[in-house]
Structure 1
Amino acid sequence: MTDQPVFETILYEKDATDKFATITLNRPEKLNAMNKTAIREIDAAVALAVADPDVNALVITGAGRAFSAGYDLQGADYDVDIEDWHADMGENTQALLNIWKAPIPVIASINGYALAGALELMMACDLAIAADTAKFGEPEVRHNSGPPSLFMPWLLATRDVRWLMYTGDTVDAQEALAMRLVNKVVPAAELKDATEKLARKLARMPVPAIKYAKASINNQQIAAGLMTSMDYNVQAIAALHVSRRGREWMANLGRMTLKEYLEVRDAPFKGLD
């Protein structure tokens, strides 16, 4: 194979003994918040794994104390029109769909916070194992935004989807397990071993079997309307961002520090969470 590309925001490592690779989001000082570089590098690393005959399974995790806090809210220009939002969210959604449709099983290993866009990243994966200290949520509704993709209704009961997407509440690992947002919860100290054990099991499966099983499961969701749902969501959230209130919230990002922004966002909900 050709030389592996050099990444700035992620690590990509192949296991020394089994046919699986690990993508680690590697911006721990920012709780692995995903900027455009990170999104594109995750997408490139997924393509690298898919193209490698020596990779039969893939793990996605985060460095430090978070899986990821979601999309990086700092440093971008939010004074844009709806076509720009369509392009931006369309690119993000396509990167997530590339994980969802990868012909190898993808495991999310959730070592801490998985919020907003990172929750979407986790839900794009086939399976999820969480540390008992992990936290999950879609807090972006509180600043007049929404998820770039819409995997949640395809995974959870509608009551749970509405709770998470209406309230912006953060739930713990056991609540996430009860909702079937994750497959398994383990003590934080055991997460790496539990994830690698599952990755080794999947890597040793007969190669065509999971590929065709995944294709059949995905086809069921496509037939039920998943792609139409994704397209509608991009249109809806882009329109939300350019609404009057949406523009006000986006303008706040340009004139506040992130700490100030989150304090203003969450202030109305103190004592209610």
Structure 2
Amino acid sequence: MGVSTSAPEDGVAVVTVDFPPVNALPVRGWYDLAAAVRAAGADQEVRCVVLAAEGRGFNAGVDIKEMRRTAGHTALVGANRGCYDAFAAVYDCEVPVVAAVQGFCLGGGIGLVGNADAIVAADDAVFGLPELDRGALGAATHLARLVPQHLMRALYYTSRTVTAEELHRHGSVWRVVPRVQLLEAAVELAREIAAKDGSLIRLAKAAINGIDPVDVRRSYRFEQGFTFEANLTGVADRVRDTFGTDRESVGTDQERRS
């Protein structure tokens, strides 16, 4: 359990997240993920990173249970900072990052894939931001990188999810494959990227980030301010108190497909 890094072949590093039962990451998990992605990108032998997950879903966001059992706002602050750090690590990784997504990709998962350079998804993958149902706000910055503006707003306000195939039609998912082929397909794309000159691929990553029309770090930080406001005014607690277990919430999110 936790975050691990492997090297299936030359030039490719796979960073794998494993926090059963649904990959809802605790505060420490977000920081560990950030550190692993940064370390992989800094390795001069690595030319592409694959971000993957064990279990039935890619990511279910932050650990709401940890937030509930922690007095005050310590866990909230930690989760917000941890998510910010992990999202920035993916975006700023020195080499391209390919996200390999299966099952549910919710909340913080959208922040991770929205900052990745490419996404390969299993045919059972669904993507969404159930933040309003969880007493939170944020990651619209990253959802807006996956779908057009008005669709992003409708998905955000309703907490609905979209399928991998729908995102493939929008051009934000590179390839949709059967789940058993997911890691193989992600590594295949990573292998093609890793075949490029290591120095040049790093320059290419920096150049593409440099022409990005939106500063995703500042934009996401702006969103987080409203999450703090919701917590300070008691709105978030009121909504979170109605939130069920992680297992129940994931099932509900998967049922809300467009």
Give TM-score, length-normalised by structure 1: 0.82
Query: How far off its partner does 1:103 sit?
Result: 1.2
Query: How far off its partner does 1:226 sit?
Result: 3.5
C-alpha contact (below 8 Å) 1:34/1:71 kept by paired residues: yes
Query: How far off its partner does 1:153 sit?
Result: 2.4
Aligned equivalent of 2:5: 12
Aligned equivalent of 1:98: 89
C-alpha contact (below 8 Å) 1:56/1:104 kept by paired residues: yes
Find the partner of 1:204 among 182, 195, 200.
Answer: 195
C-alpha contact (below 8 Å) 1:78/1:250 kept by paired residues: no
RMSD of aligned C-alpha atoms?
A: 2.8
Aligned equivalent of 2:174: 183
Rounded to whole Å, the distance in 1 between the matches of 2:85 and 2:165 is 30
C-alpha contact (below 8 Å) 1:149/1:234 kept by paired residues: no
- SS across alignment from 1:237: helix
Find the partner of 2:49 among 21, 34, 58.
Answer: 58
Asked whether 1:67 is paired with 2:58, we answer yes
What amino acid is the match of 1:12?
A: T
- SS across alignment from 2:144: helix
Q: How high is the sequence identity, in percent, across the aligned residues?
A: 25
- SS across alignment from 2:155: helix
Query: How far off its partner does 1:201 sit?
Result: 1.1
C-alpha contact (below 8 Å) 1:99/1:124 kept by paired residues: yes
Query: How far off its partner does 1:258 sit?
Result: 4.7
Find the partner of 1:132 among 114, 123, 131.
Answer: 123
Rounded to whole Å, the distance in 1 between the matches of 2:191 and 2:168 is 23
Rounded to whole Å, the distance in 1 between the matches of 2:103 and 2:116 is 16
Aligned equivalent of 1:230: 220
What does the per-residue CA deviation read over 1:163-191, in whole Å, with 9 as the maximum and x for residues that have no partner? Answer: 22111102221112223342221222322
- SS across alignment from 2:200: helix
Structure 1 unaligned runs (5+)?
1-7
Rounded to whole Å, the distance in 1 between the matches of 2:182 and 2:224 is 34
C-alpha contact (below 8 Å) 1:86/1:234 kept by paired residues: no
Give TM-score, length-normalised by structure 2: 0.86
Runs of 4+, deviation exceeding 3 Å: 77-81, 83-88, 223-228, 250-253, 256-260, 270-273
Query: How far off its partner does 1:130 sit?
Result: 0.4
Asked whether 1:243 is paired with 2:233, we answer yes
What amino acid is the match of 1:20?
A: V
Aligned equivalent of 1:5: none
C-alpha contact (below 8 Å) 2:103/2:125 kept by paired residues: yes
Aligned equivalent of 2:100: 109
Asked whether 1:80 is paired with 2:69, we answer no
C-alpha contact (below 8 Å) 1:86/1:235 kept by paired residues: no
Query: How far off its partner does 1:49 sit?
Result: 0.7
- SS across alignment from 1:109: strand
Rounded to whole Å, the distance in 1 between the matches of 2:114 and 2:206 is 17
Pairs within 5 Å for 1:156-195: 156-195=147-186
What does the per-residue CA deviation read over 1:21-77, in whole Å, with 9 as the maximum and x for residues that have no partner? Answer: 1111112x3122211121111111112212222211111111122112222211225
Structure 2 unaligned runs (5+)?
none
Rounded to whole Å, the distance in 1 between the matches of 2:256 and 2:98 is 35
Rounded to whole Å, the distance in 1 between the matches of 2:162 and 2:107 is 12
Query: How far off its partner does 1:11 sit?
Result: 2.1
Query: How far off its partner does 1:243 sit?
Result: 2.6
Rounded to whole Å, the distance in 2 between the matches of 1:48 and 1:204 is 20
- SS across alignment from 1:80: coil
Change (3 A) 1:201 1:35: same
C-alpha contact (below 8 Å) 1:89/1:148 kept by paired residues: no
